[in-house]
Amino acid sequence: MKRKVHLFDVVNALLLSGVVVATLYPFVYMAAVSLSASDYVIRNEVTIGPKGSISTCTTWF
Amino acid sequence: MIKQVMRDKYFLLLLAPVLIYYVIFKYVPMFGIVISFKNYNLFKGIWDSEWVGLKYYIQFFTNPDAFELIRNTFLLGAYKLLFGFPAPIILALLLNEVRWSIYKRFVQTVSYLPHFISVVVVAGMLTLFLSPTIGFINDVIKAFGFQPINFLMEAGWFRTIYVASGIWQEAGWGSIIYLAALTTVDPQLYEAAEIDGAGRWKRMLHVTLPGIAPAMVILLVLNAGQILEIGFEKVFLLYNPATYETADVISTYVYRTGIVKGNFSYGTAVDLFMGVISFIFVFSANYASRRLGETSLW
Amino acid sequence: MYHLVLNDPRILLGYKNTIVYVALGTLLSLSFTAMGAYALARKNLVFGKTFMLMIVFTMLFSGGMIPTFLVVKSLGLMNTIWAMTIPGLISTWNLIVMRTFFQGIPKELEESGKMDGLTDIGVFTWIVLPLSKPALSTIGLFYAVGLWNNFFLALLYLRDESMYPLQVILRNIVMAGQYSDAQVVSASGDEMIVEESLKYATILVSTLPILMVYPFIQKYFVKGAMIGSVKG
């Protein structure tokens, strides 16, 4: 049986996406900050992706 | 009797390590409670320390902190129950309405994850995220032009932080039991409701909710029984002297006075007092859930 | 950032200690839980009801933190590897889940084993255990995660820093702000080290094993939670 997509389905999907974001964001944020170059961290510019990360990554090895 | 023991000898052999464990690490400590009626001294040992009767119990009740400790333990548990109990139910109801099963499984998998993260990591993340200088939560507050809040140093925030982080960590995992209960709901009921012209809201109200109601009642009763079982670790990792007035609970107090300062007898007395009250709670809750006819801890 | 974390001798030591505690602890806990649960799953085990009652009672009441501490201390377990593995050897919940699982194994299989001349222990080892791989991996994972995340036992029973598991070291670095010499040196050098990046890196390094294996093993956990919830 095929059903129409109701407004509720959209709202529900959004709410659950909110749950996913709330669960995962702390980890993503930590990864982004720890991989970013210091200047960006100090200026609070890191939100999701790492910034200026190449320099710190290459110094691992 | 001897015949039965001989018949089961291999089983008893298999069970022996478990029994020895329970005797040494669970039952011997129960008898160790006598030190709360003695003036226990590490060098004299349990037997040679002199009896002091109820001295340490009286000391606790005449302590001005006693009321605060009991209140904090109770309130932390009560708020956890009040806000933490509905969260997995709501999540399970929302998940139940998702028709795209891959998405549903994805959300489930993600929401179980925090359950497996250690308390130290959760407390560490909270400490950093809530920090007034480097925490991103305060960055947001500052961005809106408000003063940063030193969340972990303000007693007024402790319960909120404790309860909210508990929901973050356990709501997903807690929804498993409700989702399991929902799989037992007869799909014909939904079809019948649909034929009767019931909309989604009505179907949730009249089919889904009654489907999980037994599980809800049992869990409510069991959680209410465990209201005083506040985990030691999270409070210990998040509190500090500035927030003792809302954060200090019996278990952390027992740790500080008993283990750290070495007042073994006094600490044991405080612990036993709470243990007995907690026992009454859990026992009555289990009795109640047995009467409700479903399940119980034993 | 990560080279500082991964070169921090405390982190390496913590990793090593934690891996040893998890490996030994899981092995001991899982073996004894399976053995005990199998015996308790037998319907007419002599004193079976008494033993079960005795075990379940400990879920309701315990001697508390200090008497347990004194027992561990008087047994000489303080500051040994046993302090991390023995006081939490059996989880009553896991024992009951395991027992529920064993109760579901058809009796005929065990009887056929006895016909072949196996003892009860032989039946357990050669017939029951191979059939129980899913349950064993589930309970084993529960124990392993519990041991990996354990902070309480270390706080109470370990005083020697060289014995510290990762969780204690993590707490000292992230919450108490203790830095290693290498970190202080590089902080004063050219490359500026931001405290928060360092702490986040430390958290992630210590959580990565769980984050990485989680997607593959989560279905086992859910199965275990289901068995537990049906007959909790």
Residues C191, A34: C-beta atoms closer than 8 Å? no
A interface residues, B as partner, C-beta within 8 Å:
3, 6, 8-9, 12-13, 15-16, 19-20, 22-24, 26, 29-30, 44
CATH of domain C2-230: 1.10.3720.10
Beta-sheet strands, E only, within A1-61: none
Alpha helices in chain B (DSSP H): 2-7, 9-22, 28-32, 45-48, 55-61, 65-84, 86-96, 101-112, 119-129, 136-143, 155-182, 187-195, 200-203, 209-225, 232-238, 244-247, 250-254, 264-291
Residue B235 touches partner C, C-beta closer than 8 Å: no
Contact residues, C window 8-67, toward B, CB-based 8 Å cutoff: 32-33, 35-36, 38-40, 42, 45-46, 51-56, 58-67
pLDDT score, position C230: 53
* Interface pTM, i.e. ipTM: 0.91
B206 has a pLDDT exceeding 70: yes
Gyration radius from chain C CA atoms: 22
pLDDT score, position A40: 67
B22 has a pLDDT exceeding 90: yes
CB B115 within 8 A of CB B170: yes
B23 has a pLDDT exceeding 70: yes
Summarize pLDDT for B127-156 with one digit per residue, the tens. 999 988 888 888 888 889 888 889 999 899
Residues A20, B129: C-beta atoms closer than 8 Å? no
Residues A30, C203: C-beta atoms closer than 8 Å? yes
A61 has a pLDDT exceeding 50: no
A17, closest residue in chain B (CA to CA): B107
Residue A38 touches partner C, C-beta closer than 8 Å: yes
**From the CB of residue B4, how many other CB atoms can be counted at a distance below 10 Å?**
12
- Which residue bears the tokens 């928060």? C196
How many whole angstroms separate alpha carbon B133 and alpha carbon B139?
Answer: 8
Chains that touch C (3 or more CB pairs under 8 A): A, B
C232 has a pLDDT exceeding 60: no
How many whole angstroms separate alpha carbon C92 and alpha carbon C75?
Answer: 22
Sorted by where each begins, the domain ranges of chain B are 54-291
A57 has a pLDDT exceeding 50: no
B6 has a pLDDT exceeding 50: yes
The mean-pLDDT minimum among A33-42, B16-25, B100-109, C50-59 falls in A33-42
Residue B168: which of B113, B128, B124 has the closest Cα? Answer: B113
pLDDT score, position A56: 43
Residue C68 touches partner B, C-beta closer than 8 Å: yes
Q: What is the mean pLDDT of residues B98-124?
A: 92
The domain defined by B54-291 folds into MetI-like fold (1.10.3720)
| Category of B268 on φ-ψ map: left (φ > 0), alpha (ψ -120 to 50) or beta | alpha
Percent of chain B with pLDDT over 90: 55
Nearest Cα of chain C lies from the Cα of B87 at a distance, in angstroms, of: 18
Q: What is the mean pLDDT of residues C27-40?
A: 97
DSSP label at residue B134: T
Summarize pLDDT for A3-55 with one digit per residue, the tens. 567 788 889 999 999 999 999 999 999 988 888 766 666 666 677 666 664 44
pLDDT score, position B263: 92
How many whole angstroms separate alpha carbon B6 and alpha carbon B13?
Answer: 11
Residue B106 touches partner C, C-beta closer than 8 Å: no
Residues C204, A30: C-beta atoms closer than 8 Å? yes
pLDDT greater at residue B48 or residue C22: C22
pLDDT score, position B226: 83
Percent of chain C with pLDDT over 90: 52
**From the CB of residue C74, how many other CB atoms can be counted at a distance below 10 Å?**
14
Q: What is the mean pLDDT of residues B164-175?
A: 94
pLDDT score, position C69: 95
Q: What is the mean pLDDT of residues C30-34?
A: 97
Residues A12, B98: C-beta atoms closer than 8 Å? yes
Exposed, middle or buried, B81 (CB in 10 Å: 0-12/13-18/19+)?
A: middle
pLDDT score, position B289: 77
Chains that touch B (3 or more CB pairs under 8 A): A, C
Residue C119 touches partner B, C-beta closer than 8 Å: yes
pLDDT score, position C231: 46
Summarize pLDDT for C159-192 with one digit per residue, the tens. 999 999 999 999 998 887 766 555 555 554 444 5
Q: What is the mean pLDDT of residues B91-110?
A: 91
Interface test with C, best of A30, A42, A57, A60 (most C CBs within 10 A): A30
B195 band by pLDDT with thresholds 50, 70 and 90: confident
Alpha helices in B23-117 (DSSP H): 28-32, 45-48, 55-61, 65-84, 86-96, 101-112
Interface test with B, best of A3, A7, A23 (most B CBs within 10 A): A23
Question: Which residues in C lie closer than 8 A to residue B113 (C-beta atoms)?
Answer: 211, 214, 218
Summarize pLDDT for C35-93 with one digit per residue, the tens. 999 999 998 899 999 999 999 999 888 899 999 999 999 999 999 999 999 999 999 99
B292 has a pLDDT exceeding 90: no
DSSP label at residue B151: G
A13, closest residue in chain B (CA to CA): B98
